[in-house]
Amino acid sequence: MSDAHAQIDNEVKSNDVVLFMKGTPQFPMCGFSGQVVQILNYVGVPYKGVNVLDDEGIRNGIKEYSNWPTIPQLYVKGEFVGGCDITREMFQSGELQQLLAEKGLPVTKPAA
């Protein structure tokens, strides 16, 4: 296991909700990452943002980690949820809020 892979694995397994993104939750550097940040902020679940632009190893490694070629990537309780499109569709249908609730994670805005 490479260093980057081990680092990614550790982030995924030690954070309930982690978003691999470009930029930070405060300053997203990409529109797709920014959309996921807005959704997570809206539902009010605590999460960690990992800025892939800070580390080339993580930036490339995350694409291999889940065999997913694009960023952002959202993980909940160690499981890959999806990228921007999937997160947005799940948010709009209420499935994201349901998933978080099922995993016992606090949300301030549950699905209607």
Partner 1 sequence: MALRDWIDEALRREFSTETVSVLDESHLHAGHAGWREGGETHFRVDVVSPAFAGKSRVERHRLVNQALAPAFARGLHALAIKARAPGE
- Binding-site annotation, residues for [2Fe-2S] cluster: 30
Give CA torsion, residues 21, 26, 27, 31, to 10 deg: 60
Residue with Cβ nearer partner 1 (2 or 93):
93
- Least separation in angstroms between CB 67 and partner 1: 7
- Least separation in angstroms between CB 30 and partner 1: 6
- From the list 81, 72, 83, 89, the residue with the least C-alpha distance to 105 is 81
Residue with Cβ nearer partner 1 (3 or 89):
89
Residue type, 41: N
Contact residues for partner 1, defined by CB under 8 A:
22, 29-32, 53, 67-70, 80-86, 89-90
User: What DSSP designation does 53 have?
Assistant: G
